[in-house]
Amino acid sequence: MKKKLIKPMKKMSLRQKIFFSGLSLIVLSLVLFLTGEWAIRASGWGSPRHQELYEDTLLKGKPNAQYWELAEGRNRVILNNWGFHDWDRNPRSEKWRTLVLGDSFVAGMQVPTSDLMTTRLEEAFQEAGQSAEVINAGVPGANTPYEYMLWKKFFEDRIEVNQIILCIYLGNDLANNTKALHQLTGRPLLNYGIYFNEAGEIETHRLMVHPFQEFVRGLTRYSALLNFIYTRLYLLKQAGEKSALSDYLEGRKQDPGFREEREEAWEESKGWTLRLIDRWAGELKRQKIQFRVVLISAPPNQDEGKNLRAVLRFVSELEVWGERAGVPVLNMSFPDYRPEDIYTKRGKTYGHFNQTGHTVAAMKIYRWLKQDGKWPPSEKKDLV
């Protein structure tokens, strides 16, 4: 009986070798990418990009996005149906509604939604038998021009609101309000940052972006790994720009006119900010929307670009304006509390409000609002 001979395999052609090598490389790359994607998401180190550009102007949170905030502890941030760190909201409500605008101190990404000052304030009025709703519209990195544009472009025609509380953080808002002062205090301009320009008008600062970079940015909306890498590269770029800007400013300290230039920039920021607040108050008055301002003091080891005098002048002039315009102003400080009790820690410095800080801030605002005995009114017909 003849044995069947096993035919030897034909040698692969060069084309076949190239094809299978390429296919193996693609499969291996895909496995590594998916493993990295899983690791980044599972560890909480990253998430797909949770920001969006609204009407090509406002960089804000993406509706219903979720991510881990790790800079000051560990908190799972869940943005609402409008892209803010708050509960889901409806455009209309029978409750008496307050919209709270501010920066990261209001947004409170380092604490759960249930511990936010806006949540605590809403609960305080509900426990007192008032049908009130307090909406959190805090955006990390926001300044006063941004908050005004957020109201005009996003909220004004979207929701019914009876009162606006504008929160101004005295740690950096004044320095962040103008393009000139933002740079003179050692910080590079942000892409899609909103500032007062040299004429005191509000404008969006846009950087020219290469089409490939824009393509990669688009992919970061879906991939946590790509967003993690892209964000780290962006932070490295920002650190380089900040270092170069600091060196430039250090070299200019010997310039006799540098001090005057900085002082003039502070005065411009103060004047333009007061002018914008006055304009805003007038617009809201015509709409029969109450307007109030809360000033949030900076934690220890932080200051407004090392120009405390300019900040104090701003506070003084704002309080005088408030009395004249009939706009209540609360200068909120915390002398009775140890910093470690109400702030998070960021290395050797203090960061934002912790859970206790948010509760303390909410109670201070609650008592301030109750002083005149008119807020909130028992019925909507009792408005201004």
What residues make up the domain containing 266?
A: 46-374
Q: 5 in a domain, yes or no? A: no
| Length of the chain (residues) | 384
Phi first, then psi, for residue 256 (nearest 5°) are -60, -30
List, in order, residues 6 or more apart from 371 with CB less than 8 Å away.
Answer: none
Query: What pLDDT, on the 0 to 100 scale, is given for residue 4?
Result: 56
pLDDT of 358 over the 60 cut? yes
Predicted confidence band of residue 157 (pLDDT cuts 50, 70, 90): very high
- Number of domains forming the structure of the chain: 1
Q: 332 in a domain, yes or no? A: yes
List, in order, residues 6 or more apart from 309 with CB less than 8 Å away.
Answer: none
Q: 22 in a domain, yes or no? A: no
Closest CA to 305 of 246, 358, 255, 352: 246
Dist CA 108 CA 111 (whole Å): 6
Closest CA to 367 of 204, 124, 102: 124
Query: What pLDDT, on the 0 to 100 scale, is given for residue 303?
Result: 55
Dist CA 136 CA 299 (whole Å): 22
CATH code of residue 113: 3.40.50.1110
Cβ-based burial of 129 (10 A; exposed 0-12, middle 13-18, buried ≥19): exposed
More confident residue, 20 or 100: 100
pLDDT of 382 over the 50 cut? no
Coil, strand, or helix at residue 277? helix
What the block records as the tokens of 196 is: 């007062």
Dist CA 29 CA 169 (whole Å): 46
Query: What pLDDT, on the 0 to 100 scale, is given for residue 249?
Result: 83
DSSP string, 211-236: HHHHHHHHHTTT-HHHHHHHHHHHHH
What the block records as the tokens of 201 is: 């008008």
pLDDT, one tens digit per residue, over 209-223 is 778 888 888 889 999
Query: What's the rounded mean pLDDT across residues 282-311?
Result: 86
Phi first, then psi, for residue 207 (nearest 5°) are -100, 145
Query: What pLDDT, on the 0 to 100 scale, is given for residue 375?
Result: 63
Query: What's the rounded mean pLDDT across residues 252-260?
Result: 83
pLDDT of 263 over the 60 cut? yes
Dist CA 374 CA 368 (whole Å): 11
Dist CA 128 CA 360 (whole Å): 17
pLDDT of 117 over the 90 cut? yes
Half-sphere exposure of 121 (CA within 13 A, CB side): 29
Predicted confidence band of residue 302 (pLDDT cuts 50, 70, 90): low
pLDDT of 373 over the 70 cut? no
Q: 379 in a domain, yes or no? A: no
Q: 36 in a domain, yes or no? A: no
pLDDT, one tens digit per residue, over 12-47 is 777 877 888 888 999 999 999 999 999 998 888 889
pLDDT, one tens digit per residue, over 168-203 is 999 999 999 999 998 888 888 888 899 999 999 999
Helix, strand and coil content of the chain, in percent to the nearest 5, comes to 45, 15, 35
Q: What phi-psi label fits residue 103: left (phi over 0), alpha (psi between -120 and 50 degrees) or beta?
A: beta
What the block records as the tokens of 181 is: 């002062």
Mean residue pLDDT of the chain comes to: 89
Dist CA 48 CA 225 (whole Å): 8
Closest CA to 328 of 160, 171, 174, 164: 164
pTM above the 0.75 mark? Answer: yes
Q: 11 in a domain, yes or no? A: no
Query: What's the rounded mean pLDDT across residues 59-86?
Result: 94
More confident residue, 255 or 81: 81
Phi first, then psi, for residue 335 (nearest 5°) are -70, -20
pLDDT of 321 over the 90 cut? yes
Q: CB–CB of 148/276 below 8 Å?
A: yes
| Inter-residue long-range contacts of 275-283, CB under 8 Å, 24+ positions, other chains counted | 275/200, 276/144, 276/145, 276/148, 276/196, 276/202, 277/144, 277/166, 277/318, 277/321, 278/321, 278/325, 280/148, 280/151, 280/166, 281/325, 281/327
